[in-house]
Structure 1
Amino acid sequence: MRDLTTGPISKHLIGMAAFIGVGLVVQTLYFLVDLYFVAQLGKAAIAGVSSAGSTTFLVMAASQMVAVGALSLISQAIGRRDAADAQGVFEQSLSLSVVLGLATLVIGYTVGLVGVRALGADAATSALAAQYLAAYLPALALMFPVAAIGSALRASGVAGPPMLIQSLTVAFNALLAPVLVTGWLIGYPLGVFGAGLASSIATLAGSIAFVLLFGRMQPHLRLDVRRLAPRLTIWRRIADVGLPAAGEFVMIFVMTAVVYWIIRGYGPQVQAGYGIASRILQSIFLPPMAIAFAAAAMAGQNYGAKLPDRVRSTFYQCAGIGSIVMLVLTLLCQTNPQALILPFTHDPSVVAVAADYLRISSLNFVAIGLVFACSGMFQAFGDTRPALISSAGRLLTFVLPALYMSTRGDVALEAYWYLSAVAVTGQAIVSIWLLRGHMRDKLGNGPVPLVATAV
């Protein structure tokens, strides 16, 4: 277990964020590997897999309830040196994750399959979306226990070994995907169903590795299935912290679904372009996400240890490092977005849509980095309601105007992308304003460092 209450803040942040970032990149590669091999099957397959992949946001929302709640409570308990509470929260986060994983399978194979069919631009796209989701659902269900274990490790300051396991599972997925999608070596191509199946098999292998190696990755928390009987009081504590964070992802899912609904009339090439670009954006957002996850664990331990100056400095360093990274990525998307798209498709119409979306969306990259930094701090404090409030504001400023615009037949596609950029900037302003008041309430009126110090 790594003590984050002493030593240079920047060193802790960058060290943890590097491992977490690689792990997040590897996790994102699950879907990108599928998308790469599915892209060889045509625009309808790309659009189908992309629309089915949007359900990932909904499952991530539920998994974030467990992940954020566990990370916040465990990191604070570690900061207080309360080993019993840290162990109890970890056990109950696993217990809750098992229930939610089973619920995902039941809902996914009923309501989920109907929902993704409705998002398709045509009958072929809808059918392919349902095929992919049917095979991908086990991977989504396993997202819950993996999130619980990963949060416990991050709260303990452990980031390297999980990254290695995730890297190996993605490599396994990359080996399986061409075999199952194209029928290479086995002579029986499964198409988009094979892509989802490859991810599910690889995720299962990774989950088993996490369970078997958990005790070796850190010595203080124990994984004992005999102690997973539900304790509703701890479930409630996890949900109190995690539910607002889950609400953020639900809103992302709603906004993504609204976009797919609006652009379905523009044709499958537009859905395919948006699908590819949105997955690329998920990869671009991984660096500030990694920094924010590291900041949540670090600020959580220091908040539990009652070290307010270190908590403040953690935020300012998180925001500063994240902003620099996002400025670099903004320049890349402004100058050559095609370089990010061409590995997935060479269709001119699809590339044009994806490039426009990346170029316009990059205008709010710094704002998104600040939103992540604020969210990480809200997690550290154990109160994620302010992050939900700022996300709700974005929902109102984007979805309602977008739906109104869709009722008019003369709206250019780029207008929706600019509207989204404005909405994200507004969210960042609200997040910073709410965090300012939150830090004053939680930490008192101490000094605010203009330049974060490595204390």
Structure 2
Amino acid sequence: MSSRPTYPFDVRSADVWKIALPASVAFITEPMVGIVDITVIGRLGDPALLGGLVLGALVFDFIFSLAYFLRLGTAGLTAQAIGARDPRDGLMHAARAIALAVVIGLAMIVLSGALLWVAVLALKPDAGVEAALGQYFYVRVWSAPFSLVNYALLGWFYGRAAARTGMMLQLLIHGLNIALSIAFVYGLGWGVPGAAAGTVAGHVVAAIVGLYLVARHFGGLRATLARIVPAELVDPVALRRMFGLSRDLMIRSGALMTAYAYFAAQGSRAGEVTLSSNAILLNVMMVSAFFLDGLAQASEQLCGKAVGANWRPAFEKATNLSLLAGIGISTALALVLYFAGPTIIDLMTTSGEVREAARHYLWLTALCAISGMPAFVYDGILTGSTLNDAMRNGMVLALIFFLAAAIVLQQAMGNAGLWVALNLFFLFRGAIYWWSLERRKPALFAA
């Protein structure tokens, strides 16, 4: 018999929606920031400025994705701690993640020149785009410590199923970002650096508020610090588990962002019009992706809690309910994106060439909502189960598949081939994640 205790609980459809809806509302604001930034810069009428902004945002998306384990890992570990009845609500997992976030963020600032050099070398932008990229980069990099601390905080809040608090923090980040970007670009005439400055301000304020809420949850700063035992903070077993999870999630995130970076780089090499139209469509696609991420957050918390509670019936029910909800949500998103897409494209750019190119590939962008749904749900399930090696291996295999498909299809179909390959990438991810989970599921729960 197993020495692990069992804590039975039931999962209802309402439990999925209670987490998924606030999380989706929060996550959807992130691509909305990209849409607003592209709109305020795109309406200045200079494709080079727009290209620099797009590539700058992509660079930070790629870099920050390597530290995305701070949110994913913290959420999964915290959910399991909640399921196992941890009296400190997973505080030690959050404390380790916050400390690591500060170290990584400061290192990014120190190494900013080298990071930008690598980005320029990889993306090979035109001279005008490169100048705008540099302007954006050297302002945005100051957000790094605060952005990464926010990852850790959000992981802790969502891992505890405090979805409304997580939603509030993300709305604060992105609401300030949007308002200040518009004010800095149009009101003060700061251009591309103004869009970056709005991002920095949003993350600084949200990190301060988030840390305050954590302290308040435990009765104040002094009481919170008293619960953090230094010996436990550097416990070798816990650190090995965290760094093992972090390593695998870094590889997973790096593989995912490599796929997006390859997509963007191919658009960049095809010229400013293709680069800009693909950037607009990717941001439109990200609206559906981040909305589905809310569903992934629900499956992560509920399945992680089930693993911590050692209760397989709850795990199976959470999986099935999340996938069922995903079918309805993804279909609705695809229809909304397809029919509202032309209006969104016209709002985001005044260039006739870019508008025409974006409309041509809109249907493939909308289709990504449906093809990507299983991958997002299984992302959450595997993260909550801390099956980090399965996520790592699955994403690497999916990347290899995507690159092979993109090379072949782009030669045959041009830019449309890239979009078809992206849809196939999502489908392959979902399939291999399902296969990996089915193989590993029995070992998750003690007899």
Correspondence 1:422 to 2:424: yes
Name the SS of the counterpart of 1:343 in structure 2: helix
1:359-395 CA distance string (max 9 Å, x none)? 1133343231111111111112111222222222221
Aligned position for 2:312: 308
TM-score normalized with structure 2 length = 0.89
Cα gap change, 1:347 to 1:438, in 2 (>3 Å)? same
- 1:178 and 1:367 mapped to 2: Cα distance? 34
The code of the aligned residue for 2:387 comes to D
- 8 Å CA contact retained: 2:53, 2:136: yes
CA contact (8 A) 2:185 2:195 kept: yes
Structure 2 partner of 1:451: none
- Name the stretch that deviates more: 33-42 or 23-32: 23-32
Task: Report deviation, 1:403.
Answer: 4.4
**Could you say which residue in structure 2 is the equivalent of 1:291?**
295
Over residues 213-271 of structure 1, what are the superposed CA-to-partner deviations in whole Å (9 max), with x where a residue is unaligned?
A: 22335769965399596626233211222332222221122122222332333211111
Equivalent residue for 2:158, pick from 151, 154, 172:
154
- Between the aligned partners of 2:144 and 2:34, the Cα distance in structure 1 is 11
**Distance in structure 2 (CA, Å) of the matches to 1:364 and 1:33:** 21
Task: Tell me the residue number matched to 1:398.
Answer: 402
Residue equivalent to 1:26:
29
| Structure 1 CA distance for aligned equivalents of residues 73 and 226 of structure 2 | 20
User: What residue in structure 2 maps to residue 255 of structure 1?
Assistant: 259
Residue number among 176, 179, 183 corresponding to 1:179 in the alignment: 183
What 5-or-longer segments of structure 2 have no aligned partner?
A: 1-6
Aligned residue number for residue 431 of structure 1: 433
Q: Can you give the 5+ residue segments of structure 1 that lack an aligned partner in the other structure?
A: 446-455
Structure 2 residue identity aligned to 1:415: G
**Structure 1: distance between partners of 2:84 and 2:446:** 19
* Amino acid of the structure 2 residue aligned with 1:283: V
2:18 corresponding residue in structure 1:
15
Give the direction of change, closer, same or farther, for the CA distance of 1:82–1:19 in structure 2 (3 Å limit): same
Q: In the alignment, which residue of structure 2 is the partner of 1:203?
A: 203
Q: Given residue 43 of structure 1, which amino acid in structure 2 is its aligned partner?
A: P
1:166 to 162, 166, 170: 170
Deviation at 1:114, TM superposition (A): 4.5
Whole-Å Cα distance in 2 between the matches of residues 165 and 346 of structure 1?
33
Match of 2:347 in 1: 343
Distance 2:220 2:372 in 1: 35
When residues 43 and 199 of structure 1 are mapped into structure 2, their CA distance, relative to the original with a 3 A threshold, is same
**TM-score, normalised relative to structure 1:** 0.87
CA distance 1:48–1:334, shift in 2 (3 Å):
same
Q: Which secondary structure does the structure 2 equivalent of 1:224 belong to? A: helix
The Cα shift of 1:341 comes to 1.8
1:197-223 Cα shifts (integer Å, max 9, x gaps): 111012111111111222335769965
The amino acid across from 2:23 in the alignment is I
Deviation at residue 316 of structure 1 after TM alignment? 0.8
Deviations 1:50-107 (Å, cap 9, x if unpaired)?
1111123323323222222222222212211133582322211111111111122233
Counterpart Cα distance in 1 of 2:269 and 2:385: 44
Per the alignment, residue 414 of structure 2 pairs with 412
Where does residue 39 of structure 2 map in the other structure? 36
Distance in structure 2 (CA, Å) of the matches to 1:95 and 1:296: 23
Residues 69, 44 of structure 1: alpha-carbon distance in 2 compared, 3 angstrom cutoff: same
Q: 1:224 maps to what in 2?
A: 225
Measured in 2, the distance between the counterparts of 1:402 and 1:225 equals 53
Aligned pairs, how many?
436
Q: Does the CA contact (< 8 Å) of 1:337 and 1:359 recur in 2? A: no
Matches within 5 A, 1:49-60: 49-60=53-64
Structure 1 residue 127, shift from structure 2 partner? 1.0
Deviation at 1:411, TM superposition (A): 5.3
2:91–2:228: 8 Å Cα contact kept in structure 1?
no
Deviation of the 1:5 alpha carbon: 6.5
Distance in 2, matches of 1:394 and 1:355, equals 28
Cα–Cα, structure 1 residues 388 and 211, in superposed 2: closer, same or farther, change >3 Å? Answer: same
Partner-residue secondary structure (3-state), 2:68: helix
